[in-house]
Amino acid sequence: MDFTFSEDQLLFQQSVRDFLVNEVSPEKIRASWELESGRDADLSRQIAEMGLPGMTVPEEFNGLGMNELDFVLLAQECGYVALPDPLVHTVLVAVPMLRELGGELADQWLPKIAAGEAKVVVGLEQNILVEDAHTADLLLLQKGAKLFSLTPNQVSLRHNESIDPSRKLYAVEFDAKLEPVASGEKAAALLDAALNRGALGCAAQALGLAQRMIDMTVQYTADRQQFGKPIGSFQAVKHHMANIAVRLEYAKAPVHRAAYAVSMGQQSAAVNVSHAKLMACEAANLAAKNTIQAHGAMGYTWEVDLHIFMKKAWALANTWGDAGFHKARVAQHIFADDAQLGAGTTFC
């Protein structure tokens, strides 16, 4: 079996990386923090012009008709630059939920998303706070076992600070007596799928964040000298970087496996996603810890760009299910009486 990504997928990844690295610098990220919305309209326009928001929008709604496996490499690149934009949420969570809801909501909003003319956010009780609720044209929100479709004038927002200044979080209140767009088993299925896709997006971004922290630190330790030598030549520093690289490499396969399971609608998708998020976020957290040490005391300061990526890694580790939640899902799977484990069931 061939588990490699196609040449087209890899070329698309490279073109997106080139664009993001050129357009999303740490200086621009810092500048976006000073904006009232926290979002750079020019950057959002450029992203829309590349067709990225419409990647998972079906072709009949003017999208590219791709799936989660096609986007997972691009989500990694979003993590690599700590993208201060809701692109990953839009492609992996909002669009699939609208697509599965169908009907008038899909007809009205999917073409607008594909054209970059509207922003839709999904809020689950698992997350408590809703990211980018202040710029949303439509909010799909959970309340108990029901899912509601709401416009900005139907909700009240209360801003909450995040450890990551690029994440704009809001507590959202609304009248739960309104008519839901889904309830019961349908709502449960939609909410479970949204949770899995949101966690997949976090895992993919964590891979990119870990790689960026390694790259930044390798450059820093090559330039910084002590005793007449670059500190990167010291064995202790090399070991710190090598430990991250090993953990990161082992995390890539579970993330890509989870993307495949989600895109194919496999029954194992939930446990695959939990496995992926645990592995990827552990790699990113280790990267944050070790790269701070390699930078010395200045590593945690506001002036050093490292903290931009470090704080986003910490934030993503605790959204769309924290480590405890995902460990419980994995444990439930492997300790089940009918669990199929071992090499013989790897590809079942």
Residue 38 φ then ψ, to 5°: 75, 5
Cα–Cα distance for residue pair 298/291, rounded to 1 Å: 11
Which amino acid, 37?
A: S
pLDDT of the chain along its 348 residues, tens only?
577 899 999 999 999 999 999 999 999 999 999 998 999 999 999 999 999 999 999 999 999 999 999 999 999 999 999 999 999 999 999 999 999 999 999 999 999 999 999 999 999 999 999 999 999 999 999 999 999 999 999 999 999 999 999 999 999 999 989 999 999 999 999 999 999 999 999 999 999 999 999 999 888 776 555 656 655 545 566 778 899 999 999 999 999 999 999 999 999 999 999 999 999 999 999 999 999 888 787 777 888 999 999 999 999 999 999 999 999 999 999 898 887 777 777 655
Q: CATH topology for 186-336?
A: Butyryl-CoA Dehydrogenase, subunit A; domain 3 (1.20.140)
Cα–Cα distance for residue pair 337/287, rounded to 1 Å: 37
Cα–Cα distance for residue pair 202/317, rounded to 1 Å: 7
Instruction: Classify the phi-psi angles of 78: left when phi > 0, otherwise alpha if psi is within -120 to 50, otherwise beta.
Output: alpha
Measure the N-to-C terminal CA separation of the chain; round to a whole number of Å.
13
198, 92 contact by CB (below 8 A): yes
283, 248 contact by CB (below 8 A): yes
pTM for the whole structure? 0.93
